Amino acid sequence: MSAQSDLTVVGARIWDGISPGYLERADAIRIVDGRIAAIGRAEALRGSSEPLDLAGRTVLPGLIDCHVHLCLDPGVFDAEAQTRGSDAEELAKMRERAAAMVRAGITTARDLGGGRFLELAVRDAIARGEALGPRLLCAGQPVTSPRGHCHFWGGEAADIDAARAVIDRQRERGVDLIKVIATGGNLTRGSRPRDAQFPDETLQAIVAHARAYGFRVAAHCHGTPGIRASAAARVTTIEHCSWLGEKTGSDYDADAAAALAAHGIWVSPTINSGWRRFIDANDERVARIGANFAAMRAAGVRLVASTDAGIPNVRHSDLPRALPTFARFAGLTPLEALRAATADAANALGIAGVTGTLAAGRSADMLAVDGDPLADLDCLATPHAVIARGTLIPDPSGASLRGATPRTA
Ligand SMILES: [Zn+2]
């Protein structure tokens, strides 16, 4: 697909990703060569081509999902079995998933793991304009312990030297960041989510080695000991952050939360639209998880939006539908939830100068919705238009997706 070199959207109500309300003196955005050239009044911004009339719609920055797996098929329940298709077959499926994401209004996503670096090829094809999809930041093979969570992706390391070698290999393959598996996980047989996987000094050495190359570090953490160790090692983001302890229920650690806040470590809680079933069933998890979020937020911990798309029953296009549920669990207003999926997410990913906000000089990543997203997030599920890096995406939201109910795990 070819990017329009010049496009002006007019007549829209605009939210810029940061402001507490809609912009008061702007209803048009001029886009030149994939970037926002100016935001202002339509009369002043008309370009040479026919403008895109978005009268009655609201335009906001394209959404950012901070945790996806392009290589995973949400319809397949055995992650290990998914490593067996041919590269060509897997690439074709990953391209379809990427296209579904951008049609849903997700214009940037952080891919937190796969085994064969195929998502990097998809990332590069999208960046060259040869494939439809979001801007991708890819972690490649997560660093894990022998037979640890996601070991089947090839990033096993028995000691510090082996872990450094895994990181060196990711760097050679061209990853954008490093993912470390600090605790066990649910998708790996024989792995216990509450247990830490590495001795503290190994985790610190992993983070230090990644940082020396300039990489940010995402740490997979369900159990509290792993959260504590990852905070001390000063990772960039904590994935899941489930606060699991030895017994059922939560083992929330106020000191660890204070350390997350003090070091500016972001929490990426991977809440998908399927979690709605806990709310509908008035499940005890809503109050328990909600209390953890309330305590984290009171401690000053910052949140970003993420879904873990690709895991069983979580489609890659899930984020817009997941945001209302994320807001409910985390006790966020629509404004706070939207910032977590736009400006704050871009900050956490180190790309705030590129995307996440609507401002002159930023990449032209945006979606237009019917309704008032600062009052009601449900309108995000069916975008009217999506623009990614200046290109108007065909078939936004996938007419095919409209009205479909998300499956639940
Ligand atoms: Zn994941």
Q: Do 382 and 370 touch, CB atoms closer than 8 A?
A: yes
Whole-number Å distance, alpha carbon 309 to ligand 1 midpoint, is 8
Average pLDDT over residues 220-231: 97
Whole-number Å distance, alpha carbon 144 to ligand 1 midpoint, is 13
Whole-number Å distance, alpha carbon 113 to ligand 1 midpoint, is 7
What tokens were used for 277? 């079933």
pLDDT confidence of residue 401: 47
Whole-number Å distance, alpha carbon 155 to ligand 1 midpoint, is 14
Tens-digit pLDDT profile for residues 245-277: 887 778 999 999 999 999 999 999 999 999 999
CB atoms within 10 A of CB 37: 17
Instruction: Give the range among 33-42, 46-55, 226-235, 354-363 with minimum mean pLDDT.
Output: 46-55
Whole-number Å distance, alpha carbon 69 to ligand 1 midpoint, is 6
- Sequence-ordered list of residues with C-beta below 8 angstroms from that of 173, at least 6 positions apart, any chain: 117, 120, 140
- Strand 385-388 relative to strand 366-370, pairing: antiparallel
Confidence of residue 4 (pLDDT cuts 50, 70, 90): low
Whole-number Å distance, alpha carbon 346 to ligand 1 midpoint, is 19
Tens-digit pLDDT profile for residues 272-291: 999 999 999 989 889 999 99
Tell me the C-alpha distance between 119 and 89, whole Å: 13
- Has residue 79 got a pLDDT over 90? no
Average pLDDT, the chain: 93
Tell me the C-alpha distance between 180 and 236, whole Å: 11
Tens-digit pLDDT profile for residues 342-391: 999 999 999 999 999 999 999 999 999 999 999 999 999 999 999 999 99
Whole-number Å distance, alpha carbon 140 to ligand 1 midpoint, is 12
Whole-number Å distance, alpha carbon 27 to ligand 1 midpoint, is 38
- Sequence-ordered list of residues with C-beta below 8 angstroms from that of 356, at least 6 positions apart, any chain: 17, 61, 64, 108, 342, 343, 344, 345, 346, 347, 362
What tokens were used for 360? 């002159």
Tell me the C-alpha distance between 148 and 146, whole Å: 5
**Residue 32, by phi and psi: left (phi above 0), alpha (psi -120 to 50) or beta?**
beta
Confidence of residue 404 (pLDDT cuts 50, 70, 90): very low
What are the φ and ψ backbone dihedral angles of 58, each rounded to 5 degrees?
Answer: -115, 130
What tokens were used for 108? 């940037």
Confidence of residue 191 (pLDDT cuts 50, 70, 90): confident
Whole-number Å distance, alpha carbon 254 to ligand 1 midpoint, is 25
Whole-number Å distance, alpha carbon 187 to ligand 1 midpoint, is 9
Model pTM score: 0.95
